[in-house]
């Protein structure tokens, strides 16, 4: 496997990010090794919190939460997923799959001998983390899901797969702003649909072009793909220096293959190779009794949060949170508030 490594000087003097880098190696499944980067701050014997980022961000997105959590005595670990941040970046789209991301994260946990984990997972951090939680529940003490989902294509007949894939193939790859404008044109801003609901509507013919397909196609094929620019539209405020920091891991197109591929890996279609594992994980999560909290932005669809609350036993009787005024990357928009949510959740759910 050809693996790229972002030059260290791309990470010099990033705004609000004074943390020292740490590294461990995971298997590339082709006879080689991949270096994963992570932040590790706070006392080694503190309550352990792992923060898992999404796409196309990296550990930088949690920078505002680290100091409040470590000041409260917690140990905070923030890994960069393979293909993101200071972690190595396999150079081909085909190098990435959901199962590989899940296995890389499991290796990461095992390499560092981590246990009694409180995990905070946002965006793509959710589907990856929740698979690992379902397969290794003994390693986790608590889960916090924020602006994420765990799709399993429920309610979509297998025979609709070809129709859905043709819809996706026929969807134009638009610029980011045109994509947002077109994708949201027919959406109700007060009740945004989940990706699974969009898939159900497309399969039934109620929606000839679901919004998520524009997002997949933008990442997959639009020539000017800029992670920093994308994130600047999904947070309330983003200075030029913060935008530079979000783009730092990706000096050129060849470094972006993991970020470009992620949306195409979402297991939304009923013939998706990751679907069986996601459904198996859901079966295990429906028996997960350890504390499980949802903390979502009020700008996001609450349907995934409600699904977690209704189907996971550990989510019962928890004080689930809706954070007002934050966009998708709420750890950036409301980092201090979300950190306090995490601390309150841990305090209320001591063993």
Catalytic residue numbers, as ranges = 123, 298, 328
Q: What's the CA gap between 135 and 127, in Å, rounded? A: 12
* Secondary structure in 3-state letters for 100-117: HHHHHHHHHHHHCCCCCE
* Angle 193-197-199 from CA coordinates, rounded to 5°: 120
The answer to whether the CB of 293 falls within 8 A of the CB of 321 is yes
The CA-atom distances, in angstroms, between 302 and each of 97, 103, 149, 199, 296 are: 27, 29, 10, 17, 7
The answer to whether the CB of 212 falls within 8 A of the CB of 179 is no
Q: What's the CA gap between 265 and 97, in Å, rounded? A: 7
Which residue is associated with the tokens 């740490």? 22
Q: What's the CA gap between 293 and 120, in Å, rounded? A: 9
Question: Which residue in 316, 290, 338 sits closest to 143, CA to CA?
Answer: 290
Report the SS3 class of residue 86: coil
Query: Where would I find the H helices in the chain?
Result: 63-71, 98-111, 125-135, 161-170, 176-183, 195-204, 211-221, 227-233, 240-247, 257-261, 275-285, 303-311, 330-333, 335-348
């Amino acid at each position: 496997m050809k693996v790229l490594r972002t030059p260290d000087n791309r990470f010099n003097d990033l705004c609000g990010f004074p943390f020292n880098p740490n590294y461990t190696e995971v298997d590339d499944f082709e006879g080689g090794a991949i270096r994963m980067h992570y932040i590790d701050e706070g006392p080694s014997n503190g309550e352990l919190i792992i923060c898992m980022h999404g796409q196309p961000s990296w550990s930088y997105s949690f920078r505002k939460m680290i100091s409040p959590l470590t000041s409260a005595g917690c140990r905070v670990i923030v890994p960069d997923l393979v293909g993101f941040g200071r972690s190595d970046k396999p150079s081909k789209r085909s190098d990435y799959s959901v199962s590989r991301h899940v296995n890389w994260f499991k290796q990461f946990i095992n390499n560092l001998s981590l246990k009694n984990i409180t995990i905070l997972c946002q965006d793509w951090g959710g589907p990856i983390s929740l698979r690992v939680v379902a397969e290794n529940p003994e390693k986790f003490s608590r889960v916090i899901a924020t602006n994420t989902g765990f799709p399993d294509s429920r309610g979509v007949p297998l025979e609709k797969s070809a129709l859905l894939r043709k819809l996706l193939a026929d969807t134009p790859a638009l610029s980011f702003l045109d994509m947002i404008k077109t994708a949201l044109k027919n959406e109700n801003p007060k009740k945004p649909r989940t990706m699974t609901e969009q898939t159900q509507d497309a399969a039934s013919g109620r929606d000839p072009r679901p919004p998520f397909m524009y997002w997949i196609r933008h990442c997959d094929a639009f020539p000017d793909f800029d992670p920093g620019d994308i994130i600047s539209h999904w947070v309330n405020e983003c200075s030029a220096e913060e935008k530079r920091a979000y783009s730092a891991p990706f000096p050129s197109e060849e470094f972006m293959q993991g970020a470009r591929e992620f949306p195409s890996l979402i297991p939304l279609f009923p013939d998706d190779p990751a679907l069986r594992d996601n459904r198996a994980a859901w079966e295990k999560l429906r028996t997960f009794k350890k504390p499980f909290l949802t903390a979502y932005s009020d700008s996001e669809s609450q349907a995934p949060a409600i699904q977690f609350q209704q189907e996971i036993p550990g989510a019962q009787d928890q004080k689930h949170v809706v954070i007002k005024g934050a966009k998708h990357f709420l750890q950036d928009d409301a980092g201090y508030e979300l950190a306090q949510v995490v601390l309150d959740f841990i305090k209320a759910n001591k063993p």
